[in-house]
Amino acid sequence: MADASERAVGTCVQPECPVRRGETECALGLELIACENFLPSPDISDDSTTPNDEDDASVSASRRAPGAFDGSAAAAEPISAPLPEPVVEVEGGPALDFAAAEPEADPQPGFESRVRAPEGPRNLVEFSDQHVPMHSGLSLTVEEAQQLMANEEAVVVAFAGPAGAGKTTLLASLYENLVMAPLGNWKFAGSMSLLGFAMRAYWATTASGAAVPSTERTRRDPTRPWLHLRLRGHAGPRSMLLGDVSGEHFLAFASGGSLGPVEGHFRRADHVIHVLDTQLLSQIRDRQRALHAAELLIRRFAESDVLGSATRHTVLLTKVDSVQDDLLAMAQSKASTWVDSYLPGAGVVTTAARPEDGSESLGLIELVDVILQPRPKPADDPIQSPIGATARRLAGSRVELSRPAERDEAKDADA
Amino acid sequence: MPESKSTIVLVGGPQSGKTTFIGVLWSVVRTAAKDAKVRLNGPLPPKTFYMDAAEHAILAGEEVERTKKGTGERIKLDLLVGDEPFWLEHIDLAGETLETALEARRIPEDLAQELQRADCLLLFVHPDKVRRPMFIHAANRRMIASPVLVTATEGEAVAGEAVQATDGEADPVNVWKSAPTSVHLVDLVQTALRDRTRQGPLSVAVVISAWDLIEQLPPHPTPEPSEWVRRHLALLHQFLESGPDVVRWAAFGVSAQGGDYSDPKTVERLVGLPCAERAIVVTESGAVDGIAAPLAWFAKG
């Protein structure tokens, strides 16, 4: 460890940063001078490092381009060179430089300006109690999501998996990564749920005071399930509505019960992400249980009438940084089997939203790519056209839309 | 020539340099020669006390008095940029007022109307006031990568005590307060876009105040203003880049005062100069221009 006396001295300018403010060494062990949050104190002991006044004046003048937009043509002229120091000849002796002998000009702490400060009427705007509500920034209600979809096309994505599988952490991690940099080719292009994302990521920030990042447990309240996120890729902006619901809703459904209040989320979903927590595979007693539960839930979804025929599916393996390679390979093999059996055409993606070793997130770009890959237009794929478009086409044929069960009964009756 | 009324709104957090910018701009246009590229279009406007007071402080090397919370000064200037006439009309609003409003998710009606009418936002950012994203795993990653040993005790002391319970919901206001500055700024621009009544894309000039401060810090050479935005306000940069049909933007590094007035040597160096000769604006291409450069950029668009 370097000698403390050799460390740079200064102030950290980053509020609430782990790097302490003041003249103490960096608690993260960084070289302060190399840290972008560090503002070094001026070195008052070494006059040669302090720019002198003439240098400043000449720099200031040289940096101003002629004809600059400063409102004055005259201001475009460079500052004239300083006047030469007065030289006084003294009889019988060399010329003395009185300027050098004069003490350096001190600030005038007792200076009182004789120029009166301006006075006059103000043009104040006193803000009244009339306030206009802003959009909350929280995750969206169903109504807010519908309103959004009336104005822009969005891929509705629902996540299915038990509590603790990493669904919310994944969503928080999207925000955490975008706040730092684009996600591969995807750039942040807007969100009506910025505060919603920030709340999900809060316990992973240093502001929370936590030493280990974590995620708040998703509550059962399904009234604000949708996180809005717009990204821009090579093909232009694409929006997503990402559903974040408690994993407890899936327990009963897997065993034949209903999805309850979240059923509507899945009925309108364009894409369902089936989540398997691979960390559970590391515990031998939980390994088979986890695999069994995941397969059961996937099959229940596939065989129910909750999802539309045009719904896309992806099997998502989370926390892959925490599982051994052979177990991960087994999980991937199982996932592929489930896809073949129940979700034809689906993909398998592996992620590690917040690797335990603090390394970069894994798999987020691939997941976003899968969700936002272009869907075939209804005209190109009449079988998968939305119900609305189908209804419009059939309207002129006087064909009544009915549920499959009613149509089967009608056929039997005819027979 | 038909008169086009463009509305420019200055927004930014507390102490982000808005009032100082106004003071210097006022000084420049008020004393501009008849052939200057940016100047007043006609006589002096009424009720100029606020701008005069700001200019008065700057000329003497004094800090400009901060705009009081809960109030705003309405400013309306009839300007010419080249031969193009336009209005500069805005409310110089205390940063705390805006900040409080964003936290409470309610904004004063007057401000809401200003944002709706805005053709251009001058979005002020002070580099000292930028809250960067600080995630625990990123901080831990830096600790692991550092070649200097850090004791476990120091690491815990840095990050705070471990929080056991995560069932408790985080308070939205606290979450918002601690969110990175780039998140706040994106929210601000989105608010301006959401209920906008004007046609055409919204122009956003990101004004990075105290640019002279940035030039003192590594890395060297100093990055261009837009690159600074990309590095330090990544989310905002992505957002501004993502929708040219909705938002057009540029970044400007501005030292309106020309230096730090808390340093007596700086004051002594600058106090004999008129405002126009103190202010330095670094544009996207790295060129140096005058205080009205953001307005000229907007007028060109």
Encode pLDDT of A258-289 as tens digits: 998 899 999 999 999 999 999 999 999 999 99
Residues A117 and A119: their CA atoms lie apart, in Å, by 7
- Burial state string for A88-98 with b = 16 or more CB within 10 A and e = fewer than 16: eeeeeeeeeee
The answer to whether residue B32 neighbours chain A at the CB level (below 8 Å) is yes
Tokens of A46: 């070494």
Q: Give the pair of three-digit tokens for residue B197.
A: 């009544």
B298 touches chain A (CB under 8 A): no
User: Most A CBs within 10 Å: which of B26, B211, B238, B288, as the mutation test of the A interface?
Assistant: B238
Flag whether residue A207 sits within 8 Å of chain B, measured between CB atoms.
Answer: yes
Q: What percent of chain B lies above the pLDDT cut of 70? A: 86
Question: Pairing mode, if any, of strands A187-190 and A226-233?
Answer: antiparallel
Q: Is the pLDDT of residue B244 over 70?
A: yes
Residue A217 is predicted with a pLDDT of 75
Taking only the tens place, the pLDDT of each residue in A378-413 is 555 444 444 444 444 444 443 333 333 444 444 444
Q: Who among A30, A354, A358 is closest to B144 (CB)?
A: A358
Please give the average per-residue pLDDT across B101-109, as a whole number: 81
- Mean pLDDT for B258-282 is 87
CA distances from B43 to A153, A220, B38, B48, B295 (A): 51, 64, 14, 12, 20
Residues of A in contact with B56 (CB under 8 A): 115, 117-118
Report pLDDT digits (tens) over A137-170: 999 999 999 999 999 999 999 999 999 999 999 9
Q: Is the whole-model pTM more than 0.90? A: no
What pLDDT does A39 receive? 56
- Among B173, B204, B211, smallest CA distance to B288 is for B211
Question: Average of pLDDT values for B46-74?
Answer: 83
- Stretch (H or E) spanning B270: helix B264-270
Q: What is the pLDDT of residues B116-154, one digit of tens each?
A: 888 899 999 999 889 988 887 777 766 666 544 433 333
Q: Please report the pLDDT score of residue A109 as a whole number.
A: 56
- What pLDDT, on the 0 to 100 scale, is given for residue A67? 38
Question: How far is B2 from chain A, CA to nearest CA, in Å?
Answer: 23
Query: Rounded distance, CA A126 to CA B32, Å?
Result: 32
d(C-alpha B249, C-alpha B228), whole Å = 14
Helix (H) or strand (E) holding B298, with range, is helix B293-300
Distance between A260 CA and the closest CA of chain B, angstroms = 23
Mean pLDDT of B66-92: 77
pLDDT of residue A220: 59
Contact list in B for residue A25 (CB cut-off 8 A) is: none
Q: What's the rounded mean pLDDT across residues A58-82?
A: 38
* β pairing state of A312-318 and A271-277: parallel
For residue A379, the model assigns a pLDDT of 56
**Cβ-based contacts of A192 with chain B (< 8 Å):** 190
Task: Return the percentage of chain A with pLDDT > 90, whole number.
Answer: 46
Which tokens is A85 given? 């120091």
Q: Is A278 in a helix, a strand, or coil?
A: helix
Q: In the predicted model, what is the mean pLDDT of residues A101-109?
A: 47
**Does the pLDDT of residue A314 top 80, yes or no?**
yes
Cβ contacts of B136 on chain A, cutoff 8 Å: 204-206, 208, 210-213
Mean pLDDT across B39-60: 89
A283/B contact by beta carbon, under 8 A:
no
> Of A297, A18, A305, A19, nearest to A167 (Cα)?
A297
Pick the residue with more confidence: B113 or A129?
B113
Rg, chain B, Cα only: 21
pLDDT value at A47 more than 80: no
Question: Does pLDDT of A104 surpass 50?
Answer: no
d(CA A54, CA A99): 15
Residue contact A210–B136, C-beta within 8 A:
yes
**pLDDT computed for residue B146 by the predictor:** 58
- Show residues of chain B in contact with A201, CB under 8 Å: 135
Interface contact A203-B167, CB threshold 8 A:
no
Q: Which residue reads 């408790």 in tokens? A: B168
User: Which of A91-100, A247-256, A379-388 is predicted with the least confidence, judged by mean pLDDT?
Assistant: A91-100
* Mean per-residue pLDDT of chain B: 82
* pLDDT for res A390: 46
Most confident of A2-6, A92-96, A121-125, B259-263: B259-263
| Contact (Cβ atoms closer than 8 angstroms) between residue A179 and residue B133 | yes
CB contact A6 to B (< 8 Å): no
Size of interface A-B (CB pairs under 8 A): 327
Chain B, 257-296: which have a CB under 8 Å from a chain A CB? 258, 264-265, 267-269, 273-274, 276-277, 279-280, 287-293, 295-296
Contacts with A379 (C-beta within 8 Å, 6 or more apart), sequence order: A385
Nearest CA in chain A to B38: A71
Pick from A251, A252, A189, A262: which is nearest to A226 by CA?
Answer: A262
Q: Could you tell me what percent of chain A has a pLDDT over 70? A: 62
Contacts of A33 in chain B (CB under 8 A): 218
Give pLDDT, residue B98.
72
pLDDT tens per residue, range B188-220: 899 999 888 888 899 999 999 999 888 877 777
Strands (E), A130-267: 131-133, 154-160, 187-190, 226-233, 236-243
> Mean pLDDT lowest for which of A212-216, A359-363, A411-415?
A411-415
Mean pLDDT, residues B71-95 taken together: 77
Return the pLDDT at B36: 86
- Longest Cα pair distance anywhere in chain A, in angstroms? 136
Output the average pLDDT for chain A: 74
More confident residue, A345 or B73: A345
Q: Is A28's CB within 8 Å of B143's CB?
A: yes
Measured between CB atoms, which of B102, B106, B268 is closest to A132?
B106
